[in-house]
Amino acid sequence: MKKLLFVLLILVVIVVAGLSYIGVMPFFSGLIAKQVDLGMKADPTLVTAFEAKYGKPNGTGKIKLIADLSSEEITSVFAVWGTRNKYFPLYNVQVRFNPDGTGEASGFLKIATAITFAKNLGYSNSEIDKGKEYIKYISRDLPFYVKGTGGMTDNILSVNPTTLQIGRVTVPESITKPVAGLVGDMIERRISQIGGADIKDASFKTGTFHLEGTVPETIKY
């Protein structure tokens, strides 16, 4: 189950979930908005085909992986992850890579599972309690939209969100910058959990998600 595609995926999760951690959630209480439609549809068969080509069920070794994945394929990974991990906090996710080198994503953050997701990434109870203080202000799942650039070269991560919207609110740059730091920390935590990943290049500079590196034969959700 070769899903090192989660590099972009985790970026979106944390850009949104990180807002509770840094204490701005009350600002968004009660906001309602429709999801930004990026025109992408999930197709689980695309994920199955990718796994059959590159993965190995219950494998314990490593493989060299060079792959280019479309917006539809990454969108489909989000959908499949949601069916395989009950604690995955995003749903109805759409991802689109643009020819100008930017990426966009939209969907909903499921507040009820965000805390468990953070625990699974290894955050302490005291760190998570900071987020819990603000969860009480939110009565429903949160729609989000994010646009930006980023990637990884020789295991060095770059995360540069330029636009972040929660509900109808565009988050100011003064908040998106510290969130980007939290994004990087959580991506690195997830990579360390899968063990032995060596990422030479993970980028979407040309309108597709290019992934090159050495990864485990099987990556669990």
Is 40 among the domain residues? Answer: yes
**pLDDT higher for 101 or 164?**
101
In angstroms, how far is the first alpha carbon of the chain from the final one?
8
Is 26 among the domain residues? Answer: yes
Domain span at residue 104?
Answer: 6-216
Instruction: Give the model confidence (pLDDT) of 130-185 as tens digits.
Output: 666 555 555 577 788 889 998 888 888 888 888 888 777 777 777 677 666 766 77
On the question of pLDDT at 25 being above 50, the answer is: no
Burial class (CB in 10 A: 0-12, 13-18, 19+), 186: buried
Is 1 among the domain residues? Answer: no
Is 59 among the domain residues? Answer: yes
d(CA 177, CA 191): 22
d(CA 53, CA 139): 42
The one-character DSSP state at 34 is P
Amino acid occupying residue 96: R
Three-state DSSP at 215 gives strand
Which residues 6+ apart lie within 8 Å of 13 measured at CB? 89, 90, 109, 117, 186
Is 57 among the domain residues? Answer: yes
User: What does the pLDDT read at residue 121?
Assistant: 73
Q: How many CB atoms lie within 10 A of CB 63?
A: 15
Task: Report whether 65 contacts 198 (CB < 8 A).
Answer: no
pTM for the full model? 0.76
User: What does the pLDDT read at residue 43?
Assistant: 96
User: What does the pLDDT read at residue 1?
Assistant: 38
Is 221 among the domain residues? Answer: no
Amino acid occupying residue 159: V
Determine the average pLDDT of the residues in 24-46. Answer: 73
**pLDDT higher for 90 or 167?**
90
On the question of pLDDT at 101 being above 50, the answer is: yes
Nearest to 75 by CA among 100, 50, 52: 50
User: What does the pLDDT read at residue 105?
Assistant: 92
Bin 101: left if φ > 0, else alpha if -120 < ψ < 50, else beta: left
Is 10 among the domain residues? Answer: yes
Is 48 among the domain residues? Answer: yes
Nearest to 21 by CA among 140, 124, 127, 165: 127
* Cα–Cα–Cα angle for 21, 16, 93, rounded to 5 degrees: 150
Number of domains in the chain: 1
How do the residues of the chain divide into helix, strand and coil, expressed in percent and rounded to 5? 40, 30, 30
Inter-CA distances, 162 with 120, 133, 176, Å: 28, 27, 8
Q: How confident is the model at residue 21 (pLDDT cuts 50, 70, 90)?
A: very low
Three-state DSSP at 156 gives strand
